[in-house]
A = this chain, B = another copy of it.
Amino acid sequence: MTYCCGILVEGGLVMIADTRTNAGLDNISTFRKLHIFEAPGEYVVMLAASGNLSVTQSVVSLLKDGVENKETGEVERLSDMKSMFQAAQLVGRAVRASRALAGDAVEQVSGVSFEVTLLLGGQIRAEPPRLFMIYTPGNFIECTTDAPFFQIGEHKYGKPILDRAVSYETDLYDALKIGLISMDSTIRSNLSVGLPIDLAVLRRDALKIETSTRITADDPYFGALRDSWSRALRAAHMAIPRPPYGGDR
């Protein structure tokens, strides 16, 4: 499995992705799932992918090499896009093209699902930062200020903290922190999501990546965050009085 989240706040955009892939429980590996396309001063576009790795890797290659637009006959690259909406459409076409390359055969021969879900976030020139979730058929939805995050993959364990703690007004690096707590909750409860974690922070109107790093198992901040969060959760539930329902306590 996979867990990725994208958080779109007033100050910019945070993208976080784990790196664990598995073909069965006994074939686990590490692959980058967070991809950054950047031309400083012009655009920063980030893509996080969950699902069939052969498809998501093909999508990334197609976005660089170009996807044919069947309506116009032109070959389009991510770097040609004038808006994030155009970029989301292009990713949708790239997903369909990857599927056309091998989809039916993959499903027929190996019985493996060809499902993919992607997060596409970024800013192109003067447009504000935008975040999209793109499905297997290539259709997509856009993140709004009411619920300013999207998750893909193994999303349930890490959803409660996002539901509670993130709003559009949240500080950009607080959003990163809450995203990392969400990732920690997922890693702790589900073996198929694992370190290292890739993350990237794009400040609004900066048009270049402000932070892009990989958190590995010996990262002191993430280690401290995990410990602090565990301790704080214990303290939080211990501070709540015991239930008053019946019994002698």
Contacts and interface: CB of A to CB of B under 8 A. Distances in A.
Contacts of A157: 156-157, 159-160
Contacts of A171: 242
A173 B247 CA distance: 9
Q: Please give the count of copies of this chain that the complex contains.
A: 2
10 contacts: A161-B237, A173-B242, A176-B243, A201-B245, A210-B246, A213-B246, A221-B243, A228-B239, A233-B233, A235-B236
Contacts of A181: 237, 240
A157 to B, nearest CB: 5
User: Which size class do A's interface residues fall under?
Assistant: 35 or more
Nearest to A215: B245
Contacts of A248: 210
A164 B159 CA distance: 16
A60 B107 CA distance: 41
Interface of A: 156-157, 159-161, 163-165, 171-174, 176-178, 180-181, 185, 188-189, 199, 201, 203, 210-213, 221, 224-225, 228-230, 232-249
Given A210-B248, A221-B241, 19 more contacts: A157-B157, A161-B233, A164-B188, A164-B233, A165-B234, A173-B243, A173-B247, A176-B242, A177-B242, A199-B245, A201-B245, A213-B245, A213-B246, A221-B245, A225-B240, A229-B236, A229-B237, A232-B232, A232-B239
Contacts of A199: 245
Nearest to A232: B236
Given A157-B159, A189-B160, A246 B177 contact: no
A203 B247 contact: yes
A122 to B, nearest CB: 17
Q: Is the interface of A mostly helix, strand, loop or mixed?
A: helix
A201 B246 contact: yes
Contacts of A247: 172-173, 201, 203, 210-211
A237 B185 CA distance: 13
B201 A237 contact: no
Given A211-B247, A243-B176, A247-B173, A230 B189 contact: no
